[in-house]
Structure 1
């Protein structure tokens, strides 16, 4: 895995945000000019990351992955949770979905190719099926949907391009991109799916976004695209 200990910026320096969270531990909170990012880890087995995004102007909130432990997630919600984005269909990313929706009445959105599987597994309807280039609103803030196939057919990443004068891009990648590599691929077509995944990650993320883009994965520590970019060729060569 690539070390990210030196990957800091003005917002991390001012708030002390590191992105290092542990199951049972306190959330880590990053306060941007217009958006607050609260990161928490849930479930000792899978150690999933969940991200609560709060618009500072309106109080509207979006939760990225109701992965598990509603008793941990719901106390973080300030009453303005309007939307839950499920980044992909894998079971460990939506175990708390039904409970959080029942408690908040939030709308569920997910990548179109994964939507039916998410509903089948959780019993929760997907109100909006996301396509590449769609926008998810967090009050006055906007998240651009980046579709990245391979880990699952309908995996999505969410891009917040901070409009502050000292801001930069923030990317919530689900299980498609981690420090040290892309997500896993599975089944008889594993090699072809890896090719799809690494190509989407290269063309839709690395070819487009600058090095200071900070990304937040579905498990583990955060990183920046600059820290990972030199290793893209290694990832493609090793095939995972």
Structure 2
């Protein structure tokens, strides 16, 4: 079946099958968060992005093979409600942005800085530090050697604009970071956000001047 990235709370996961990586996307309540399980096809090692909520759903998606690691994209509470339970059940190593780690109540084993590499089996993800939605938000970029890049943006980029900011300085910082570190990727880059449907950089890029003008 063709991957669409359209999921709903209580519904099935949608699976994006790439040559080296399988990406399973599921929605959990009560704030319709997206969580992603990445599985290296060569090694079957798995990584979870955002143990947002509903540990039972996430652990079912993870399955008997478990996960080696879990990455929290940022410190907002709706992105780590199930983290303690998932880590206890799986023994997974925890990753989060260095400047957000103190705001996450589960200890961060590996504080992440801009440009750091996080591996899942033979697959490498590159962290991009984005300041504005929170001080230490990270996006994860998978530069697929067989196709276009894929980027997991947390709450920093959605279809229709950047994530929420609370003042003009944070908005400008987030927009500058997105343009420098994310929109430098090609238009075909697939965007997996922390809430809602997926998009592509090509679909969002023409709206950057509009976002700048409106200030959110």
TM-score by shorter chain over 0.5: yes
Is the counterpart of residue 195 in structure 1 residue 167 in structure 2?
no
Q: Is the aligned partner of 1:50 residue 2:30?
A: no
- Give CA-to-partner distance per residue, 1:168-202, whole Å, 9 cap, x none: 1000000000000000012xxx1100010011011
Identify the residue that residue 33 of structure 1 maps to in structure 2. 19
- TM-score scaled by structure 2? 0.98
User: How far apart, CA to CA, are the structure 2 residues paired with 1:174 and 1:127?
Assistant: 20
2:81 paired with 1:104: no
SS at structure 1 position matched to 2:164: coil
How far 1:203 sits from its partner (Å)?
Answer: 1.0
- 1:65-114 CA distance string (max 9 Å, x none): 00000010001113240110000000000000000000000011000000
Cα distance in structure 2, aligned partners of 1:220 and 1:129:
27
CA distance in 2 between counterparts of 1:126 and 1:153 reads 16
Cα distance in 1 for residues equivalent to 2:45 and 2:132: 31
**Structure 2 counterparts to residues 66-81 of structure 1, below 5 A:** 66-78=51-63, 79-81=65-67
**Which of the residues 181, 195, 200 maps onto 2:161?**
181
In structure 2, what is the equivalent of residue 59 of structure 1? 44
1:61-210 aligned within 5 A: 61-78=46-63, 79-119=65-105, 124-164=106-146, 167-186=147-166, 190-206=167-183, 208-210=184-186
**Structure 1 unaligned blocks of 5 or more:** 1-14
Query: Structure 1 length as normaliser, TM-score?
Result: 0.88
CA distance in 1, matches of 2:66, 2:85: 16
Within the candidate set 200, 221, 225, 2:197 is matched to 221
Following superposition, the deviation at residue 220 of structure 1 comes to 0.1
The RMSD of aligned alpha carbons is 0.7
Q: Which runs of 5 or more residues in structure 2 are unaligned?
A: none
State how far apart, in whole Å, the 2-side matches of 1:161 and 1:215 are: 12
Write the distance in 2 (CA, Å) between the matches of 1:185 and 1:227. 22
**Structure 1 outlier segments of 4+, above 3 Å:** none
CA distance in 2, matches of 1:185, 1:195: 9
Distance in 1, Cα, partners of 2:175 & 2:133: 10
| Helix, strand or coil at the partner of 1:233 | helix
- Alpha-carbon separation, structure 2, partners of 1:67 and 1:210: 29
2 CA distance for matches of 1:160 and 1:205?
12
Does the 8 Å CA contact 1:59/1:80 hold for their aligned counterparts? Answer: no
